[in-house]
Structure formats: structure tokens, C-alpha cells
Structure 1
Amino acid sequence: MQIVHPGILQVRTPALNFYVLRDEEGLYVIDGGFVGGVRMLQNTLRQHGWNDLPIRGILVTHGHLDHIFNVAYLAKTTGAWIAATRLDALHYAGKPHYEGNSRVTGWLEATGRFALGYQRFQPDRWLDDGDRIEILSGIKTVHLPGHTQGHMGFLLEKERLLFTADLFVSYRAGGRLPLEIFNNDSAENVRSIGKALGLKPAGVLPNHGSDAPPDVHLQRMERLFERVKCAGHEDYS
């Protein structure tokens, strides 16, 4: 758990990391974590003295179950609005469509939704590529498909910090691509990494990774992209 910026708090859980943004209006949660995520969110807010601030909104990066599991509950209990990427609408409704290797993820999620009691939700605002959200210095949405059809990054414009969701995985051993079974289109996922780097971010904040600072995660993503380009046969530029 750490504050990576005065207005950004990272919530670390065994399954994945997620983030809380703070401005003068209150708090905004990005995704909200998986099983146990609400408890970890509450503990983290309490430890950093943010627990008395209202949660105003929830931003959804994509529709995989480990990212949207708590969204309906958080919205219901806090009154927060939900803004979510439009192209993953079937995921929020509990009816995602998977093809190829990603059908394994579909089977796993179907089991998880049934066993864990997934709550469906309808976003209050649909997000498309290039939208702007008035939080902190302003957030620009960046469509980064490949992991899912609607996979979305969030660029904090003034600070040039990019929330990359599951675009890549970043641990001390270095950056790597998501497993094939988790991707809608792995080649497109790589092209999206190139698109993200083209934004010239000062740092990136992935949902699966170590507690390294944003500039270190960026370096890992840059090295990963170079490795994939050298090893592959497609034009990823």
C-alpha cells in the first residue's frame, strides 16, 4: 500500500492492485478489486486518513471479473456513479462473449459469477476513446484493446501518469504480457502497448505488478515492448 502521488492511493491485494483518486470533491475508485477488495479498500483508506471522505465515482477499465466484482456493491453502498468502457457492456451484464483461447477465461468467470454471487450493474456513463473526466487535473480515456475489446487506460493529463489496467504485468523480474487465455487478441494487446508508449507518459500504473514507482513500471513496459517487437513477426509500431 502506498501513496504514489498526493492524489493517488494504491490498494494492494493478493489478486491485483487497484487505485483511489482524491480531489476536492472526494474519492474515485478505479475498478475496485476482487474477493476481499472492499475490506482492503476500507483498511487502506483508514490507514491513510482518507476514510471519512465520500466515494463519488467508480471508473471501470475493463470487464474481467477480477476488476468489476465489487463495482455494484460499492456503487450501492456509497451512492457513487459508475463510468465504464462502452465496448465491455456484456461483461457488466454478466454475459461476456469469449472466443479462441480466451474461452478458458469465460469458463472460469462463469464459475466465479455463480459461486461468488456476482452483482450485475449498468454504468451511469459510457466511456469512449478520448473522453475527458473532470477528476484531479483531468483524466483522458485511452482505448487500449486486446486484453478485452473495450480495455481502457486512464491518462492523468497534467502529471502524465497512465493507469494501464491489464495492458501488461509488471513485477521485479520485469514486464510481461498477460497470458494468452486472458486476452481477447494478444497481437492487438501489443499494438496497444505501442499506443500507450506513444503518449509519452512520465510513468504508468498497472493493476498487476509490484509496488515499484510509476517510472520503474514504465521502464519495464518499454523493455517488454522492445523484446516483443524483436521476437515477433508482425508490425507492432
Structure 2
Amino acid sequence: MEGTAVNWVLLRDGAALTLIDAGWSGDTPRVEASIRALGCHPSGVQAILLTHAHLDHMGAINHFHEKYGTPVFMSTADAAHARSGDLEQARPGDIIKRCVRPRCMRWTARIIGAGALKPVTIPHATSYPRAGALDLPGAPVPIACSGHTSGHSAFHIPDKRVLITGDALVTGHSLSPITGPQLLPPFFTHHPDEAHTALRILADIDADWIVPGHGFPWRGTPTAAVELARRNAAVTNTL
């Protein structure tokens, strides 16, 4: 499901759901609407899984926790950042100096309207309750792939042959002139060198679909997606 230039994912088992990522704070009504569009109720979300603690993925989490008691799980490293609000993300200055480009100006206006200037902390952020497949709808398997943040996770859905990559590997972004598998521009990434290393981890996952945090789902193996992302780095590294 797409919000304001960012995606979230719903895994369904009957009326029970797992929500992966939660958009900007201004996307909260869209997150609820996407659940109702499946014929489900937001209270049916058994847990929210967070790929990483950035504002464009955290927005609806506190709403779900306060209204429905929904727990949230993420890596230990990113849970600490979510609780403190000290997020490993691009700073306003990183954005402002790129706003000479019309593409960036339009994107910046959109995300400000969606809550980009609104701080979010998640006091109830919790580490994954177990290793391996989680006992949640879809049985997602967290895959540690730090780089974009210190504790970034992807999620593998083996029986559906799907890899949910968050921001470790995307297929588009409002600032990017290209589509297809790619890394985000380095200024979005806390450890750019590690982000390139994380591609090796993703390449080894057995899947037929990539579902990213930004851009459209992409059909193909992670190995092929990683190869394309490495080629496209010549473009994304200049943004």
C-alpha cells in the first residue's frame, strides 16, 4: 500500500493481519483505509513490524497502540532510537540544500504536509520476541541488513516467495530520475558503506518478488535486483 511517497505492507491470515511499516503520521487515515479495503478491521492487526526507525515509516504506530493496543516490534538497535527519538535519518539541512531541484521541492512540500516536521517517539517499541519466523500472520522472518540505519531489517515471507526490503533496497523514489532496483541516495543512509554490504545479504534470499519501502513491487530474484541496484548506484550516488 502506498502513502505519501512511502509504502506499507499488510500480511493477512483470515481477519488477522500483520502491518509492516506505517507511513508518515499524516498517512494514518490511509493506513486504516487500506485495512478496511481488505474487509478487515484495524483492531485485527496483531502487531506492527518496523523495518527501521525513520519518520516516514513510524507515523501510524502510536495511533494503533493507543486505540487498539497494537504492539510494535523491530530490531534492538532501532527500538532504542524509536524510544528516544534520536533517529538516524537525513537532517533538514540535507534536504534544503537539494531543494534547488524542482523534483526535491515538490517532494519536500508533500512530506511536510504528511508530518515530516512532527517529531515521533515510540516509548513502547520492543525488540523482536524471537529469532526466526515470527508467530504472526504471514510468519515473516526478520533479516538483519544494517546500513540505512544501524538496525534495519528486511522481512522474508518464504511460502509466498516475497522479500520485503524496506529502505535497504528500493525500486524508486521521488528524488530519483530512474525506476527499478536501486539504493536510496547516500544522504538518506546512516552507514552508506554498510548499505552496500547489506545487498550481499539480500541477494542470498530465495524469493520471486521484491516489495520495497519506496517504489513499486518488482518481480525477479533478489540476486537480479541487487545486481541492478549496484549498476544504478552510479546515478543514485550523485543525488
Instruction: Sort the TM-score into its range (normalised by shorter chain).
Output: 0.7 to 0.9
Residue 38 of structure 1 corresponds to: 28
Give the superposition deviation at 1:142: 0.6
Q: Is the counterpart of residue 58 in structure 1 residue 48 in structure 2?
A: yes
Alpha-carbon contact 1:56-1:79 (below 8 Å) kept: no
Q: In the alignment, which of 197, 201, 209 is matched to residue 203 of structure 1? A: 209
Give the superposition deviation at 1:157: 2.1
Residue 227 of structure 1 corresponds to: 231
Q: Distance in 2 between matches of 1:107 and 1:74?
A: 31
Residue 177 of structure 1 corresponds to: 183
Question: Match for 1:29: what amino acid?
Answer: L
Unaligned residue ranges in structure 1 (runs of 5+):
1-10, 232-237
Question: Match for 2:91: what amino acid?
Answer: V
Q: Is the counterpart of residue 67 in structure 1 residue 57 in structure 2?
A: yes
Root mean square deviation, CA, Å: 3.2
Q: Distance in 2 between matches of 1:88 and 1:120?
A: 11
Q: Distance in 2 between matches of 1:48 and 1:137?
A: 15
Secondary structure of the corresponding residue to residue 93 of structure 1:
helix
TM-score, normalising length from structure 1?
0.76
Q: Distance in 2 between matches of 1:128 and 1:53?
A: 20
Q: Percent identity?
A: 21
Deviation string for 1:53-96 (max 9, x for gaps)? 62221111111111112211211111112111111133212442
Q: Is the counterpart of residue 162 in structure 1 residue 149 in structure 2?
A: no
Secondary structure of the corresponding residue to residue 29 of structure 1:
strand
Higher RCO, Cα 8 Å, sep 6+: 2
Alpha-carbon contact 1:58-1:75 (below 8 Å) kept: no
Residue 118 of structure 1 corresponds to: 120
TM-score, normalising length from structure 2?
0.75
Unaligned residue ranges in structure 2 (runs of 5+):
96-111, 173-177
Question: Match for 1:83: what amino acid?
Answer: F
Alpha-carbon contact 2:202-2:222 (below 8 Å) kept: no
Secondary structure of the corresponding residue to residue 63 of structure 1:
coil
Richer in strand (by share): 1
Alpha-carbon contact 1:21-1:28 (below 8 Å) kept: yes
Question: Match for 2:127: what amino acid?
Answer: W
